[in-house]
Chains A and B, each alone.
Chain A
């Protein structure tokens, strides 16, 4: 199975800050990488697919980059509604489509 490792596990920031979350894959997944946002008690919401493509309806302050084994999610000018947990997920050819362990973004 492809392992996905996110860092950091927890991130503290203030409204207006810019933050970056990193996701590393255990093997080359080209650009088959998705990012989701999950708020407490809610289902995950797709933000970015194919490493850098913004999902319809997701705010443009979210951006993704990377290829191969290292990927990043950047959130510019944090808004109060952005404080949540973020997950990466690979969707390379081989199942299972594993998720990272999550990064909790907290208000400083």
Chain B
């Protein structure tokens, strides 16, 4: 069974940093690209970042480019998102999601999310 478990969320002051983790199990982790998606409180879904299976390519939404860094450790079946220079508008539930590795990309498995709150 595919499982994705996020952790690392919490309360942080504006300008602060946080590192989110997502531990994967139940599949060959390094065969799959992985994404981070966030959901602002009571709002819709926003794609945040993508990393390829070998970690060689990364992509970001304009809203986080230059502030967030996605990475992975395939030896530990783990995905990370480093959040720097945090703003109040980054307050959200952050999900990791697996790319289905298909001709038409879709996010076929999701973690339960970890909540990031940016507030003084």
Binding site for B on A (CB under 8 A): 31-32, 34, 36, 38, 42-46, 49-50, 53, 55, 87, 89, 91, 95-102
Q: A101–B44 contact, CB under 8 A?
A: yes
Sorted nearest first, the 10 A-B pairs with minimum C-beta distance are A43-B110, A49-B106, A91-B105, A50-B104, A99-B45, A34-B106, A96-B47, A97-B47, A102-B44, A101-B44
Contact pick for A49, options B45, B50, B95, B102, CB 8 Å:
B102
Q: State in angstroms the CA–CA spacing of A99 and B59 once bound together.
A: 17
Where chain A touches its partner, the secondary structure class is loop
Distance to closest chain A CB from B101 (angstroms): 12
Whether B104 contacts A44 by the Cβ 8 Å rule is no
Of chain A, the residue at the smallest CB distance from B106 is A49
0/1 per residue, B87-120, Cβ < 8 Å to A? 0000000010000101111111011110000000
How many residues on the B side are at the interface (Cβ–Cβ under 8 A)?
23
7 contacts between A and B (CB under 8 A): A43-B111, A43-B112, A43-B113, A55-B108, A97-B47, A98-B47, A102-B45
**A91 — which chain B residues lie within 8 A by C-beta?**
104-106
Give me 7 other A-B pairs in contact (C-beta within 8 A), A32-B105, A50-B106, A97-B47 excluded.
A43-B95, A43-B110, A43-B113, A44-B110, A49-B102, A55-B106, A91-B104
